[in-house]
Amino acid sequence: MLWACLSPGAGPGCGAPSGTLDQTPTYQEMYRPQLHFTPPRNWMNDPNGLVFYDGEYHLFYQYNPFGTRWGHMSWGHAISLDLVHWEHYPVAIPEADGVMAFSGSAVVDWNNSSGFGNGERPPLVAIYTGYREAEKIQAQYLAYSNDRGRSWMTYSGNPVLDRGLADFRDPKVFWHEPTQRWIMVVALSADHKVQFYESTDLKSWTLMSEFGPAGSDQGLWECPDLFPLTVEDGSQQDRWVLQVDLGDGAVAGGSGGQYFLGYFDGRQFEAQPLGASAWAGPGLAQWVDYGQDFYAAVSWSDVPIQDGRRLWIGWMNNWQYAQEIPTDPWRSAQSLPRSLHLRNVGDGLRLAQQPVRELQSLRERFMQIEARQLSDETFTLSETGFWGRRLEILAEFEPETAREFGLRVRVGQQEGTVIGYDVTRSELFVDRTRSGRSDFHPLFARRHAGPLPLRDGRLRLQIFVDRSSVEVFGNDGLTVLTDQIFPSLGSEGLEVYAVGGSVKLHSFTAWQLRSIWR
């Protein structure tokens, strides 16, 4: 069934009162992302319930149907066939009876272990935190769908896991084949711990073990995820990745993610020292993203084995200023979907993230520069006829004597965002101090940097530029920076530069990209 709300002009919450009643979404607003998912109107935070079923990628998300700030948390819903284009669906799980629907996950219950199925097809089951506002209690709740995620029923036996705690949230559930059980990883946020529970029917849960405090104990621990990845070195070895978010005190300031690598035997997670000296993370952990706008990342459940990818998406915002960003009538975007990889970097294993290949379908006008040397100079590509505010860029540099080199994107008369490499410090950085509007919060105009050793003396960059963000993947995603920016619409310039010496630009290819909304 096609909903009347499906067009970008309407969408979830259509018909519901909005905080910005007079603003009709057009998807042409100045800062409206054209490559990233945004709800037509109102507030969004974490991605939730990511599950693939019957050819469809579901994206649920923390949503306030009634305004552009956090509140009335409900699960908004969108569906994609290709991880690129999204269709909006009505709110799946609304706030009801004083219980907000906080973050959580969804699974395909293939064997109908929950008994929620109606015999025709396996039910989709969502496991989320119900926040009982009056009592200030967080507990785990279930909802299910028997019509491919189109409509959702909350379980009459809710809550299914209630320990009377104030900070007990964001359950991520997956099927553990070797032990034939469901496993839940969930955050004891204020204790900087995650707990692991087991179940055979998704309804009754038994505590198995805990992990933490470890890594960073800043902020509150939120939105954990746990999954295995095969090390991409031909050894066929698996490691488990435990990703845990911090509400504050992350590497770029404010909220951000860390991850641990180790072993999970179906009961207990044991972290291994990462040993990658070039990347100094917090204790046993490593940072997921060195920009300021990648939070609450969770991975898709039930991606077919033939596909084989582990895919995730994160909230492209930061609790430090999320409620102040100058967008209207919506607030917040999701990151581009990324595939996850485990690479051996010589002295340890490291998580790499790459934008999904499906995004190549957006490539439109294309330009290439011949290999050239840049010597203490700026090469303005926009003067050669290439510019844009929706771009994908692939570039490979080899520093010679330059102290710093890189690109400037979204360049206008008074502004530009620098994506550069500091040779002395071996650091990839994004400098958004002069990127456009930043007056809405004192902590926004900053430079963010992450360690990244050169590979065979070279730096390879893949960059996505949108109306209000940049995502930078260094050396095939070993170091990633995700940052929002708010430049003028007319700032479309593109430059390559070198400072303090020379750099060899081995290759440079850029595409203007089609909008996902047309």
Active site residue ranges: 46
- For residues 122 and 254, which CB has a smaller minimum distance to ligand FRU in the complex? 254
CB of 397 to ligand FRU, least distance (A): 36
Q: How far is the CB of 437 from ligand FRU (least distance, A)?
A: 23
Token pair, residue 44, equals 């969004």
Residue placing its CB nearer to ligand FRU in the complex, 74 or 327: 74
Q: What are phi and psi of 190, to 5 degrees?
A: -75, -20
∠ CA(250), CA(452), CA(432), 5° rounding? 55
Determine the Cα–Cα distance for residues 313 and 297; give it in Å rounded to an integer.
Answer: 5
Q: How many CB atoms lie within 10 A of CB 348?
A: 17
Residue 387 CB partners (closer than 8 Å, separation 6+) = 381, 492, 493, 494
Window 112-131: residues binding ligand FRU (CB under 6 A):
129
Among 222, 293, 392, 404, contact with ligand FRU (rule: CB under 6 A): 222
CB of 103 or CB of 114, closer to ligand FRU? 103
Q: Does 225 bind ligand FRU (CB under 6 A)?
A: no
Write down the least CB distance from residue 315 to ligand FRU, Å.
7
Three-state DSSP at 107 gives strand
Q: Which is nearer to ligand FRU, 74 or 113 (CB)?
A: 74
Single residue of 142, 185, 202, 223 touching ligand FRU by CB under 6 A: 223
The 31-50 site mask, x for binding ligand FRU (CB under 6 A), equals: --------------xx----
Q: How many amino acids of this chain bind ligand FRU (CB under 6 A)? A: 12
Task: Provide DSSP, 200-233.
Answer: SSSSS-EEEEEE-S-S--SS-EEEEEEEEEEBTT
Whole-number Å distance between alpha carbons of 288 and 290: 7
Cβ nearer to ligand FRU, comparing 223 with 428: 223
Q: Within the chain, what is the greatest distance between any pair of CA atoms?
A: 69
Of 103 and 475, the one with the shorter C-beta distance to ligand FRU is 103
The secondary structure of 372-385 as a DSSP string is EEEES-EEEGGGGT
User: Is residue 67 within 8 Å of 17, Cβ to Cβ?
Assistant: no
Mention every residue, 6+ apart, whose C-beta is less than 8 A from residue 113. Answer: 182, 200, 201, 202
For position 105 contacting ligand FRU by CB under 6 A, the verdict is no
Closer residue to ligand FRU, CB minimum distance, 34 or 318: 318
Q: Which of 42, 62, 68, 339 binds ligand FRU (CB under 6 A)?
A: 62
- If one asks whether residue 103 binds ligand FRU (CB under 6 A), the answer comes out as yes
Would you state the structure tokens that stand for residue 279, as one six-digit string?
């990347």
The residue from 44, 73, 161, 362 that contacts ligand FRU (CB under 6 A) is 73
- Least distance (Å) between residue 318 CB and ligand FRU: 10
Residues 135-174 that bind ligand FRU (CB under 6 A): 169-170
Choose, by CB under 6 A, the member of 296, 342, 452, 494 that binds ligand FRU. 296
Report whether 84 contacts 72 (CB < 8 A).
Answer: no
| CB of 287 closer than 8 Å to CB of 281 | yes
Q: How far is the CB of 255 from ligand FRU (least distance, A)?
A: 7
User: Strands across the sheet with 427-431, in order?
Assistant: 378-380, 493-499, 404-411, 417-422, 427-431, 447-451
Please select the residue that binds ligand FRU; options are 31, 53, 86, 102, rule is CB under 6 A: 102
Contacts with ligand FRU by CB under 6 A lie at 45-46, 62, 73, 102-103, 129, 169-170, 222-223, 296
